[in-house]
């Protein structure tokens, strides 16, 4: 079988997030997170499912590392659970939490797998949300910096690759604008402030990490989503421009250009965050790479009744099952399979933001996998990965500095508000028995990696 060849040293890995796989939600002195609270609230998650057990990775991490070895991956993007380290978000340190990540880090390194550690992947300590209003409160910048210092002091002698925060824009959008994710606060007027305070946390985290270990590599993981106009009308083109600023430039601009996108902020001027004189300099503290999470594209159309932005997105309505529309495959999430989306996300960063080093920190797809005994057949996922990776290689050939690619995800996990209904993994998990089975796509990924050195 012929496989695309990537440059020597290109990183192939898999991604996960703590709340989505760890389980052990109230063990070993761990504090409650906003996702523990949100998932335990009736009506928030499909079928009332929670991440209480998830994939039981907390107890089965050695088994999961063996799976990574079986896939041939040499890198693993994981996240740290803030309330496992600081049960109240600040104050007393939980030594048992640090001990778990010590064991996990050492086990990965012993297996020849490089950890890429995300410091915040949405599981904010509930105490900070309840008592301090979480990311609405600018003081969170100091609490986050303290947490980062604790983690980096504990692991920084072995962990050399750090991701500050995951999908800052999406955290604010889903958690405050739509209230479909934790913390579930319908406060659209707080959206920009929540984004801004996360960006400040990002800048402080870069400074803390570099202060402790100057040779570490640090960057954010940003969700980038190309948006096209639904029609050729001038109003739809204007809507697409605003949507691209909302989804993409709202984080890229301040991190790299030390400024917010002007058109978006004109539209949302009534909700401007508290931007102080030194803020943009902090946010734009130099990073070593830009992490990109990308899956699909969307289409924007003008809707006069949508407040302020007058824009509606048409491309990512959740589906009960995967489907084909107008001859185009859609995933079980209802997302269009559009390989050019990853090309366009990379090219945007390359051409508009000075061609920085890029890591694809998430890319993958949920499909209705076919389980037959001890085999899981998922040809559509293989087709998806082939097509998207071909687009990644195309950008490299055109000069983009893409240095790595992490599949979302290693194992079928708790997929936020849709619970266990949507499966992204290279490894199938029976969440009743915790039995793991490497899917056909996992074996395909293994062979792709092996072919790089053949």
CA pair distance 359, 302, nearest whole angstrom:
33
Please say whether the beta carbons of 173 and 184 come within 8 A. Answer: no
CA pair distance 352, 338, nearest whole angstrom:
22
Please say whether the beta carbons of 55 and 411 come within 8 A. Answer: yes
First-last CA distance in the chain: 12
Q: Return the structure tokens found at 56.
A: 């039981």
Nearest to 95 by CA among 106, 104, 84, 105: 84
Query: β-strand 161-166 against 217-223: which pairing, if any?
Result: parallel
Nearest to 431 by CA among 416, 413, 418: 413
Please say whether the beta carbons of 31 and 125 come within 8 A. Answer: yes
Helix axes 440-451, 379-397, angle to 10 degrees: 30
- Cis previous bond, 344, omega within 30: no
Please say whether the beta carbons of 158 and 213 come within 8 A. Answer: no
Contacts of residue 304, defined as CB under 8 A and 6 or more positions apart, other chains included, come to 310
Nearest to 345 by CA among 296, 307, 310: 296
Q: Return the structure tokens found at 305.
A: 């009744």
Nearest to 231 by CA among 297, 296, 301: 301
CA pair distance 273, 136, nearest whole angstrom:
10
Please say whether the beta carbons of 189 and 128 come within 8 A. Answer: no
CA pair distance 181, 203, nearest whole angstrom:
24
Residues annotated as catalytic are 167, 362
């Amino acid at each position: 079988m012929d496989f695309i060849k990537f440059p020597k040293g290109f990183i192939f890995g898999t991604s996960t997030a703590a709340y989505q796989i760890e389980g052990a939600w109230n063990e070993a002195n761990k504090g409650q997170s906003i996702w523990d609270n949100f998932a335990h609230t009736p009506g928030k998650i499909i079928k009332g499912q929670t991440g209480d057990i998830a994939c039981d990775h907390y107890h089965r991490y050695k088994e999961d590392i063996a799976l990574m070895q079986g896939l041939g991956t040499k890198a693993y993007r994981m996240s740290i659970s803030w309330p496992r380290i600081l049960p109240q978000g600040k104050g007393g340190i939980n030594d048992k939490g640090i001990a778990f990540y010590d064991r996990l880090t050492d086990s990965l390194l012993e297996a020849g797998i490089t950890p890429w550690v995300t410091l915040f992947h949405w599981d904010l300590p509930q105490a900070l949300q309840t008592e301090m209003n979480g990311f609405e409160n600018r003081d969170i910048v100091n609490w986050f910096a303290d947490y980062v210092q604790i983690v980096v002091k504990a692991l920084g002698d072995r962990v050399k690759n750090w991701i500050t925060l995951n999908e800052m824009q999406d955290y604010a959008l889903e958690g405050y604008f739509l209230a479909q994710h934790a913390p579930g606060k319908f406060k659209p007027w707080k959206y920009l402030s929540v984004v801004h305070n996360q960006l400040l946390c990002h800048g402080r985290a870069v400074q803390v990490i570099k202060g402790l270990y100057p040779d570490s590599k640090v960057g954010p993981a940003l969700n980038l989503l190309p948006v096209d106009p639904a029609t050729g009308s001038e109003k739809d083109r204007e809507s697409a421009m605003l949507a691209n600023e909302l989804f993409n430039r709202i984080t890229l601009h301040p991190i790299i250009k030390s400024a917010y996108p002007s058109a978006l902020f004109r539209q949302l001027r009534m909700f401007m965050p508290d931007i102080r004189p030194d803020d943009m300099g902090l946010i734009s503290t130099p990073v070593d790479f830009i992490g990109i999470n990308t899956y699909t594209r969307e289409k924007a159309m003008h809707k006069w009744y949508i407040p302020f932005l007058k824009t509606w997105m048409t491309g990512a309505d959740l589906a009960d099952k995967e489907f084909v529309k107008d001859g185009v495959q859609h995933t079980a999430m209802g997302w269009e399979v559009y390989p050019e989306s990853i090309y366009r996300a990379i090219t945007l960063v390359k051409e508009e933001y000075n061609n920085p080093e890029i890591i694809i920190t998430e890319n993958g797809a949920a499909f209705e996998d076919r389980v037959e005994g001890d085999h899981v057949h998922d040809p559509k996922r293989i087709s998806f990965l082939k097509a998207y990776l071909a687009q990644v290689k195309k950008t490299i050939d055109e000069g983009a500095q893409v240095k790595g690619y992490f599949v979302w995800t290693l194992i079928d996990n708790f997929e936020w508000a849709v619970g266990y209904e949507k499966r992204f993994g290279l490894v199938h998990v029976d969440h009743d028995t915790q039995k793991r089975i490497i899917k056909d796509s996992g074996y395909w990924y293994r062979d792709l990696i092996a072919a790089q050195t053949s």
